[in-house]
Every structure is written in C-alpha cells, then in structure tokens.
Amino acid sequence: MPKMKIDFAGFARHEKKLIKRVFSAAKKPRCAVCVVCVDEQSITALNGKHRQVDAPTDVLSFPTNETPFLGDIAICREVMERQADDYGHGQKRELAFLALHGLLHLLGYDHGEEMDKLTEETLTRAGYERKL
C-alpha cells in the first residue's frame, strides 16, 4: 500500500493534486481516506444528520475504526469559495486548509492550539502558508 491512498469524488484534477500535496506534507503513516466535494444542500443535510446543526458548514469528517481506512472527508465547495473570499487568501489555500483540517480530525485531533500549530506547519511545508 502506498504511504496514503486517497479516493476522490467531485474534484477537478488540479484540486486533487493540491489535496495530495498537503496530505503528503502531513507526513502521516500508511492509511487511506476518501475526500468528497459536495454542494451546500448536501453538507447541510449531513450536518443536520450527524451534528444536529441545520446549516451548511465547510468540512465534515467521518472516522471509521477500519485500519488502514481512516474515514471520509466531505468539503462544501460553495462554503469554501465564500470563506476564501472572506479570509482573502485564495481558494487554493482554503481547500488545502479544509482538506488538512478534515484529515487531522480523522487522525484524532480536536480543535485547539496543538491542531492549529500542526495545521500551519503542514500548510507551510506544502507551500500554502498564511499570507499576513
């Protein structure tokens, strides 16, 4: 098995390459994930079903207990595009951030300083550092 196997759905070729790049920078052990691009209606339904929040969100992670498959990551393109505009750092960085954020949740990280630090270090290694 390669270092990381990634199955994709709904992403353009350049987006797949971007996600592979940031996942490679994460330097994680052999594992597999599925990354799916969904629309706002779908992410709202998933958010309602799994988090009891009737609103769209940017990314959701669905971990499994099946080694080496870590789980699924759903990213909403519309929310990603709006956030990229709001944060002023472009869609490439936002997609890299969301994909990595989902992966870190699959790896067991919770929101906080450790996750934030690891996120910024990994994005910088992958070439998507925050521009201030």
Chain segment 105-125, per-residue pLDDT in tens: 998 999 999 999 999 999 999
In sequence order, the β-bridge partners of residue 71 are: 33, 63
Q: Answer for the pair 91, 84: CB distance below 8 angstroms, yes or no.
A: yes
In sequence order, the β-bridge partners of residue 1 are: none
What is the residue whose two structure tokens read 């595009």?
81
Residues 6+ apart with CB under 8 A from 118: 104, 109
Centre a 10 Å sphere on the Cβ of residue 120 and count the other Cβ atoms it contains: 15
Q: Kindly tell me if the per-residue pLDDT of 79 is higher than 90.
A: yes
Residue 59 — φ and ψ, nearest 5°?
-145, 145
Distance CA 12, CA 57 (A): 21
Average pLDDT over residues 90-98: 93
Digit-coded pLDDT (tens) for 19-69: 988 988 887 767 899 999 999 999 999 999 999 999 999 999 999 988 888
Average pLDDT over residues 6-18: 90
Which pairs from 84-88 meet CB under 8 Å and 24+ separation?
none
pLDDT at 81: 95
Domains and CATH numbers, the chain: 4-126 (3.40.390.30)
Distance CA 18, CA 41 (A): 25
More confident residue, 51 or 2: 51
> What is this structure's pTM?
0.91
Residue 125 — φ and ψ, nearest 5°?
-60, -35
